[in-house]
Amino acid sequence: MAGKVTSAQVAKRAGVSQSAVSRVFTPGASVSEKTAKKVRDAATALGYRPNVLARAMVSGKSRMIGLVVAYLDNHFYPDALEKLSNALQAKGYHVLVFMASNKTEIIDTVLEEILDYQVEGIITASVSMSSELASRCQQAGVPVVQFNRTQDLERVATVTSDNYQGGYDIAQFLAQGGHQRPAYIAGWEGASTQRDREAGFLDGLKDAGLTLFARGVGNFEADTAKAAACCMFGKRDAVLPDAVFVANDHMAFAVMDALRFELGLRVPQDVSVVGYDDVPPAAWTAYDLTTVRQRANRMVEATVAAMLEKIDHPASPARQVVVDAPLIIRGSARKPKGPL
Amino acid sequence: MAGKVTSAQVAKRAGVSQSAVSRVFTPGASVSEKTAKKVRDAATALGYRPNVLARAMVSGKSRMIGLVVAYLDNHFYPDALEKLSNALQAKGYHVLVFMASNKTEIIDTVLEEILDYQVEGIITASVSMSSELASRCQQAGVPVVQFNRTQDLERVATVTSDNYQGGYDIAQFLAQGGHQRPAYIAGWEGASTQRDREAGFLDGLKDAGLTLFARGVGNFEADTAKAAACCMFGKRDAVLPDAVFVANDHMAFAVMDALRFELGLRVPQDVSVVGYDDVPPAAWTAYDLTTVRQRANRMVEATVAAMLEKIDHPASPARQVVVDAPLIIRGSARKPKGPL
DNA sequence: ATGAAAGCGCTAACAA
DNA sequence: TTGTTAGCGCTTTCAT
């Protein structure tokens, strides 16, 4: 009933030693059913629950995973965070959140702070860490897995969708749809997702005998993307692109708005638009965006699996998981052999 | 440089006592500049950082705030989470996330778990806790503040937007716009936000001499809301509502899609649509949704302030903050004296 | 200003 | 199976 009940108090009440109490709350410890019952009764009566922090001190298991995330604008990340947190919770871990802007310096500072909390592992979403910090974590025995980013560092595990293939598929799809003048609006150029999507797209175009007609940079920000689109499509009496691949959905919505409502172009009749991520609004009828799906569920599963693997077997090699990313065909881009 | 550096190791290297090291890392402790320097040098050389958990054990300050959140679909919550986490981080706290579905039983379980981590406070977003749990937290000396929910419990602090006034303003606005047959699509009926918005809306209608023409329930879920809309507007040759207030934006988008693309109605010419929250997509041109803004920034500030107040002065009364919620007029609803 | 010593609440040998 | 005994890494009196 009281504020802070300790195992010692429970022990006294149950008439056993304090370690007996500890054992009752330690799965797989050896206690007789008789003592266990006495202890449990006393515990409930007193409202006792083990102190996770004290347990962490001596056992080294804090049951916390640090999650570093840069921004939650793009709906893909809150979605992933929700799933991640749920999956980890199911395994008895909890997520300590750290927001960090995408500057290496800040990320490194934040990571130091995370380590202070003795987390058992660190997941970074949409951010890259310095190799120096990566080694620090390794030395501290804290495994790191990067979600939706790759990096050359051999020691850190990564989980991504197949960004290269996704970009490639989009190029092929646009080519088959009869498009002649494909454009690209890039994300933040420091991101591996951006680089891989673009590389795949360019290779796909090349293999289809096409070349990039125009390129803009949107930095993964809606406003910047919109500006890039206006710049790209706003020219009077010029030959315009007939298709544009926007590096993520978040930007693609802004681009579609600009195209339709500010520049008076029809989508997909005048210009086809394709995004990346398949966040929920992509399926909303007002956008009906053709896009590549990042399978958040699978990516999260892989991330959790990689994390637990590293925690249980610290010596195991860092996995580099690539989840396949299917093209989701909707109405924002002209289809092969399609009407109109 | 190593994995786990303790204050004792730093002490040895610096040639001082272990407590001296502790003092150097305790703001406001009494240390001579000379010792401080020796200690800092040794600490940097060794890569020492204080262990937050060990500190928490003895000081009772874990520097963690538990955040319970039910779902992140509605973009208002990730946005709030980001701001909350940032604001708390700036104050030296970090957020331990717990996902909970909206069943009291589950929330209570989750809250017990949170307490095990010795958090210094708990913020609940979009969930309500049982009064029993509320007292448990109080007894444990852990302050609770509810974000975006009210409850009768006197002891828990709450921060909400002025949901009643928001609903009221919408009714008045629709009345002034010449609407005759206002409808309402409700959120989850267990939520105080839902109840307050509806109450305000109904009173606003009454004061304008109107009565509710139709009512559906969307549970704050897009699909359910869409179904409700189809049910409400799908009748052949019937007199339809000429305006609908949807209890949040998330549902409003789905309703607009159904109205325009499935039922062939024009927005706002045939029917006006108003939402609540002003999440980012509300401003996207494809929706251009008239809505009531929840000022996330202010709400977060108030939440953090209430939290810190309670932590610093446990005896202080629980604040009940209501942040004003302005109507944001866009194009999805016919305006008073407007064209068309 | 500094060091010695006593724990915070718990787990993990070690005996018994 | 159980109790006893050390600590985990730190803050905090209490002396000095």
Give residue B340's pLDDT. 41
For residue B334, tell me if it sits in a domain: no
Query: Any atom of strand C under 7 A from CB of B34?
Result: yes
Helix (H, G, I), strand (E, B) or coil at A137: helix
Residue type, A74: N
Query: B74-133, pLDDT tens digit by residue?
Result: 999 999 999 999 999 999 999 999 999 878 888 889 999 999 999 999 999 988 888 888
C-beta atoms surrounding B26 within 10 Å: 14
How far apart, in whole angstroms, are the C-alpha atoms of residue A279 and residue A248?
9
In this structure, the answer to whether residues B276 and B303 fall within a common structural domain is no
C-alpha B228/C-alpha B263 separation (Å) is 13
Q: Is A73 on the interface with B (CB under 8 A)?
A: yes
Q: Does B136 touch chain A (CB under 8 A)?
A: yes
Residues B267 and B252 in one domain: yes
Amino acid, single-letter form, for residue A76: F
A63: left (phi over 0), alpha (psi -120 to 50) or beta: left
Euclidean distance between CA atoms B125 and B148, whole angstroms: 6
Q: Do the chains contact at B75 and A78, CB–CB below 8 Å?
A: yes
Residue A338 lies in a domain: no
* Residue among A49, A85, A94 whose CB faces B115 most closely: A49
Mutate to test the interface with B, among A75, A89, A99 (most CBs of B within 10 A): A99
CA distance A195 to B50: 39
- What is the DSSP track for B155-222? TSEEEEE-HHHHHHHHHHHHHHTT-SSEEEEE--TT-HHHHHHHHHHHHHHHHTT----EEEE-TT-H
**A276 near A292, Cβ under 8 Å?**
yes
pLDDT at site B155:
81
For residue B68, the 8-state DSSP code is E
Contacting residues of B for A76, CB less than 8 Å apart: none
Do A301 and A286 have their domain in common? no
pLDDT at B94: 97
CA of A202 to C1' of D8 (A): 55
Residues of chain A with Cβ-Cβ distance to B3 below 8 Å are: 139-141
Q: Is B141 on the interface with A (CB under 8 A)?
A: yes
CA geometry: angle B51, B57, B63, nearest 5 deg: 65
Quick one: pLDDT at residue A129? 83
**Paired tokens of B211:** 């009565």
**Under a CB-based contact definition with an 8 Å cutoff, are residues B117 and A53 in contact?**
yes
Q: What is the distance in angstroms between the Cα of B56 and the nearest Cα belonging to chain A?
A: 8
Domain assignment of residue A307, given as a range:
62-162+295-323
Judge: B284–A253 Cβ closer than 8 Å, yes or no: yes
Interface contact A72-B50, CB threshold 8 A: no
Supply the pLDDT for residue A1: 44
Are both B95 and B212 inside the same structural domain?
Answer: no
Both A44 and A75 in one domain: the answer is no
Burial class (CB in 10 A: 0-12, 13-18, 19+), B268: buried
- Hey, is the C-beta of A57 within 8 angstroms of any chain B C-beta? yes
Which chain B residues are within 8 Å of A254, Cβ to Cβ? 284
**A258 to chain B: closest CA residue:** B285
CA of A336 to C1' of C11 (A): 65
A300 shares a domain with A158: yes
Do residues A72 and A290 lie in contact, with contact meaning Cβ atoms separated by under 8 Å?
Answer: no
A97 touches strand C (CB under 7 A): no
Strands B327-328 and B291-292: antiparallel
Q: Is the CB of B58 under 7 A from strand C?
A: yes
Q: Is A264 on the interface with B (CB under 8 A)?
A: no
Whether B178 sits with its Cβ under 7 A from any strand D atom: the answer reads no
- What's the confidence (pLDDT) of residue A131? 85
Whether residue B108 is contained in a domain is answered as yes
Is B8 within 7 A of strand D by CB distance? yes
Contact between B233 and B259 (Cβ < 8 Å): yes
Residue B47 in contact with partner chain A when CB distance is under 8 A: yes
Which residue in B1, B3, B72 is closest to A81 by CB distance? B72
Task: Tell whether A339 is covered by a domain.
Answer: no
Same domain as A174, residue A245: yes
Q: Is residue B197 part of a domain?
A: yes
Per-residue confidence (pLDDT) for residue B1, from 0 to 100: 44
Low-confidence ranges of chain B (pLDDT < 50): 1, 339-340
CA A272, A273, A278, A280: dihedral to nearest 10 degrees? -100
Same domain membership, residue A133 and residue A279: no
SS3 track for B1-61: CCCCCCHHHHHHHHCCCHHHHHHHCCCCCCCCHHHHHHHHHHHHHHCCCCCHHHHHHHHCC
Q: Are A214 and A241 in contact (CB under 8 A)?
A: yes
Of A2, A57, A286, the CB nearest to B286: A286
Those residues of chain A that have pLDDT short of 70 are 1-3, 338-340
**Chain B: residue whose CA lies nearest to A46:** B136
Residue A261 sits at the chain B interface (C-beta within 8 Å): yes
- Same domain for B281 and B299, yes or no, is no
The answer to whether residue A41 neighbours chain B at the CB level (below 8 Å) is no
What pLDDT does residue A338 have? 52
* pLDDT digit string, tens, across residues B158-195: 999 999 999 999 999 999 999 999 999 999 999 999 99
A255 neighbors A224 (Cβ within 8 angstroms): no
CATH number at residue B209: 3.40.50.2300
At A120, phi and psi to the nearest 5? -85, -15
Indicate whether A328 belongs to any domain.
no
Cα separation values, A37 from A10, A41, A61, A106, A309, Å: 12, 6, 26, 51, 35
B101: tokens are 């579905």
- Distance between CA atoms of residues B274 and B173, nearest Å: 10
Same domain? For A117 and A232 the reply is no
* Chain B contact for A86 (CB, 8 A cutoff): yes
B99 and B42 belong to one structural domain = no
Number of independent structural domains in chain B: 3
Whether B262 and B225 map to the same domain: the answer is yes
Nearest by CB: B286 against A79, A280, A287: A287
The number of C-beta contacts closer than 8 angstroms across A and B is 138
Question: A102 at the B interface (CB within 8 A)?
Answer: no
Asked if B82 and A99 come within 8 Å (Cβ–Cβ), the reply is yes
- Residues in chain B with CB shorter than 8 Å from the CB of A281 are 253, 281
Asked if B254 and A284 come within 8 Å (Cβ–Cβ), the reply is yes
In b/e form, how buried is each residue of B303-339, taking b as 16+ CB within 10 angstroms?
A: bbbbbbbbbeeeeeebbebbbebbbeebbbbbbeeee
Whole-number distance in Å between B36 CA and C11 C1'? 34
Whose structure tokens read 């939706």?
Answer: A148
Domain assignment present for residue B222? The answer is: yes
Contacts of A330 in chain B (CB under 8 A): none
Instruction: Give start and end residues of each alpha helix (H) in chain A.
Output: 7-14, 18-24, 33-46, 52-59, 76-90, 104-116, 131-139, 163-176, 192-207, 222-233, 249-257, 296-312
Residue A156 gets which letter from DSSP? S
Per-residue 3-state assignment (H helix, E strand, C coil) for A247-290? CCHHHHHHHHHHHHHHCCCCCCCCCEEECCECCHHHHCCCCCCE
CA distance B205 to chain A (A): 30
Domain assignment present for residue B196? The answer is yes
